[in-house]
Amino acid sequence: MKFNDEQLRVAANLRQYYLAWLETKRGLSDCDYSLSWTTRDGIDYLRYRSAIKDTTLGPRSANTERQLADHVARKAELVAQEQSRGDRLFETGRLFVALRMGVIASPAAAILREADIRAYLGTALMVVGTNALAAYELEAGARFAVGMDATEDFDLAWSGNQKTVLALAGKHPVSLLALLKSIDNTYTVNAERTFQARNKHAYEVELLIAPSKTDSLPKSIGLSPIPLPEQEWLLQGTPVDQVVCGRDGSPAHIVAPDPRWFALHKLWMAEKPGRDVLKKPKDARQGKALLDAISAWMPHYPLDTTFRDGLPDELRPHFDAWHTTQPARKDTRRPF
């Protein structure tokens, strides 16, 4: 069902307000250090202290006094800005939920906000599980995953490279486990499945990785994902980038794989030997529903001959099987 004008308006406002709020939160993160005077041998020095650094910036002078004053003023400005922007954002989030648009689990939303503040999303992490469906619905401008979007676990995939890791590590070590603990310190690594962390409520977060990305995974990440060849498929194409909400109305930025590759991966998973038999029917429903939605409402993700020809042998039969269920189309851009 297509979103109505009010739903689309709220979704657009949510993204606008979220990006403004994110700018403020990242500014506060940049200011996450203290400046104060310390005396040594009768001389005042401006002391800089952060989580990873403790040093002095020089003796008291017009310059260091200005540094301290600027820091205090900037932080106060950002705190006030966070309040006003946050109020508007979360109010819009409550409207988003009230309008019955696709939402994700609230713990997942909290994780995504923190990941975005740390600039991990789209640079080092992607959402690759069921939570991605909410983003695909916004991309389609339609609700098509009703009953398929409820999940109490959260799958993330490592998508970074050496360059992004170096850039991110300039502030603090890149660590998914530390990120999780900053939200809920009961998260611990599952000793039997070291690619997974879970909290006291048994909410599970899994980190997945493609073999081509293992060299860029930093040792500081905190989890030990197993390289899976099928994860390579989710690195193909053009990712989706949308702002959605948790069930509690809190915002969440999702960067998810190209929906065509995600859908075919789901159909492949539905027939994968060893896959949990309880999950296979849901995989199949999600894959088909998403391909149908792409065909109907996402012309910017063409399901044409060029796309089919670029598929690996494992996925092409799933594409062809889905195609046989589709009515003939006159659109020559889509011979399938």
In a domain, 144, yes or no: yes
Check whether residue 149 and residue 278 sit in a common domain.
yes
Check whether residue 106 and residue 240 sit in a common domain.
yes
Cα of first residue to Cα of last residue in the chain, in angstroms, is 23
In a domain, 328, yes or no: no
Check whether residue 54 and residue 197 sit in a common domain.
no
In a domain, 145, yes or no: yes
Check whether residue 121 and residue 260 sit in a common domain.
yes
Q: Domain range for residue 91? A: 1-100
The alpha carbon torsion through 227, 307, 137, 298 (nearest 10 deg) reads 160
Check whether residue 95 and residue 106 sit in a common domain.
no
**Last residue within a domain, chosen from 66, 100, 134:** 100
Q: Which of 205, 51, 182 is nearest to 125 (CA)?
A: 205
Check whether residue 78 and residue 209 sit in a common domain.
no
The pLDDT of residue 332: 41
CB 5 within 8 A of CB 76: no
Check whether residue 220 and residue 279 sit in a common domain.
yes
Check whether residue 82 and residue 224 sit in a common domain.
no
In a domain, 331, yes or no: no
Q: Provide, rounded to the nearest whole percent, the portion of the chain with pLDDT above 90.
A: 85
User: Tens digit of pLDDT for each residue in 308-318?
Assistant: 999 999 999 99
What's the pLDDT band for 305 if we cut at 50, 70, 90?
Answer: very high
Check whether residue 154 and residue 246 sit in a common domain.
yes
Q: Is the pLDDT of residue 97 over 50?
A: yes
User: Tens digit of pLDDT for each residue in 236-261?
Assistant: 999 999 999 999 999 999 999 999 99
Check whether residue 254 and residue 146 sit in a common domain.
yes
Q: Can you read off the two tokens belonging to residue 129?
A: 């599980």
Domain count, the chain: 2
Check whether residue 56 and residue 182 sit in a common domain.
no
Check whether residue 210 and residue 190 sit in a common domain.
yes
In a domain, 336, yes or no: no
